[in-house]
Amino acid sequence: MRTSDCLKTIKPYMFVEINRKRDELIARGHDVISLSVGDPDASTPEYIVEAMKAFVADPSCQHYPSYYGLPEFRVAAAKWMTRRFGLELDPDTELLTLNGSKEGLAHLHNAFVDPGDYVLVPSIAYSVYESGALLRGGKAYRLPMNESNGYLADFESVPAEVLKRAKIMFLSYPNNPTGAVAPPVYFDRAIEFCLEHDILLCHDNAYCDISFDGYRAPALLERPHAKDCAIEFFSLSKPYRMTGWRLGFCCGNEEAVQALAKVKSNIDSGVFNAVQRAGIVALEGPQDCIVDMCCEYQYRRDVMVETMNSIGLECKAPKATFYVWAKVPPAYTSASFCEKALNSAHVVLTPGSGYGPDGEGFVRISLTSPTERIVEAARRLKECM
């Protein structure tokens, strides 16, 4: 058999390889602490699990779901957007249920990218923005993103010949992996830029509710004219600790939402209705599970930031996301530091270089392990330095 040329242009998913190394050490009997993948350690809040049990048994949940998402879920998500951001969205035309936001982000390219087209992707980014384009025979143009521009990807410098064939610009703040947040003026400029060049602006807002020190992350859709050019992605995975359930939604510009809906209706058959109904319970239930968890992440963040700085890995305390982005000491690369942490401390970190060219020289430390494990990982890292 012969696989596609497109397939050859994408790398194996980074965490597949990292998890393989982790499992190898575990198999050899080592006590490995994984601070790699961003998957909340605590279980899904009880009230969501309990509700789900009843929905599974309900025959109305056992048939094919709607391609666009359960109407009641779309209404609940639209109401959540109103409560959370003060936005009015039409749940019938401007909002779509997703099998987790990764699925929607990956499939969006099918609706916009033809072979040879460009997508604009920050030079440190969630890999799905790029791989979705490569699988379509498209190309990714990397927007410089580094400490000196405050990790606000620089789209002003894109050459004219790239702009002519650019179809989507991806941004994501609060940012995975850097923890950076964006000021409203940055969003305004991005909207202006995308309107000017007829580009879809895609904002991935998976971390809007994981924030600290009183910071409250906005939606890009709150900005004037955003709906004329933008689509925004939200996920129930991180705030409600539902990563395994696969539920998210996108909303915003009707043409973009409907284009993605057309793609998806030809590929998948929607999200299990029981999961969508549990999602309604999550969005409408008590939200203190998020507040409590953020307090815990904040404590872990402070432990890690303090330790990292004390052993020569410079880092700032992020205002949002559950990641610490730390600069490795001059003698190391991203990969060689991860190797050292893994072999000497049995701590799994993620190399910054895996997120793109500007990530080299950094590691991402995920705070989604139990607090005592974070403390233990910090102790071991300190010892091995």
DSSP H or E run through 258: helix 254-265
Q: Which residues pair with residue 366 across a beta bridge? A: 323
Beta-carbon contacts of residue 21 (< 8 Å; ≥ 6 apart): 342, 348
Q: Could you tell me if 195 and 229 are in contact, meaning their C-beta atoms sit under 8 angstroms apart? A: yes
C-alpha to C-alpha distance for 46 and 48, rounded to whole angstroms = 5
Report the SS3 class of residue 235: strand
Q: Which stretch binds ligand PLP (CB under 6 A): 116-124, 162-170, 234-242, 335-343?
A: 234-242
Report the SS3 class of residue 174: coil
Least Cβ distance, residue 108 to ligand PLP (angstroms): 12
Q: Which is nearer to ligand PLP, 97 or 243 (CB)?
A: 243
46-57 helix and 273-284 helix, angle to the nearest 10 degrees: 150
The count of chain residues that interact with ligand PLP, using the rule CB under 6 A, is: 14
Least Cβ distance, residue 105 to ligand PLP (angstroms): 7
Q: Which is nearer to ligand PLP, 243 or 353 (CB)?
A: 243
Q: Which is nearer to ligand PLP, 98 or 345 (CB)?
A: 98
In this chain, which of 97, 146, 172, 369 binds ligand PLP, going by CB under 6 A? Answer: 172
In this chain, which of 146, 176, 211, 368 binds ligand PLP, going by CB under 6 A? Answer: 176
- Radius of gyration for the chain, computed over Cα atoms and rounded to the nearest angstrom: 21
x/- track of binding to ligand PLP for residues 63-102 (CB under 6 A): -------------------------------------xxx
Least Cβ distance, residue 164 to ligand PLP (angstroms): 28
Applying CB under 6 A, does 123 fall inside the site for ligand PLP? no
C-alpha to C-alpha distance for 121 and 376, rounded to whole angstroms = 36
Query: Using the 8-state DSSP alphabet, how is residue 239 labeled?
Result: T
x/- track of binding to ligand PLP for residues 32-51 (CB under 6 A): ------x-------------
Applying CB under 6 A, does 126 fall inside the site for ligand PLP? yes
Least Cβ distance, residue 160 to ligand PLP (angstroms): 29
Applying CB under 6 A, does 334 fall inside the site for ligand PLP? no
In this chain, which of 36, 97, 127, 243 binds ligand PLP, going by CB under 6 A? Answer: 243
In this chain, which of 206, 210, 289, 378 binds ligand PLP, going by CB under 6 A? Answer: 206
Least Cβ distance, residue 100 to ligand PLP (angstroms): 3
Least Cβ distance, residue 240 to ligand PLP (angstroms): 11
DSSP symbols for 345-367: H-EE-EEGGGG-GGGTTEEEEE-
Residue nearest ligand PLP by beta-carbon distance: 100
Q: Applying CB under 6 A, which residues contact ligand PLP?
A: 38, 100-102, 126, 172, 176, 204, 206, 235, 237-238, 243, 248
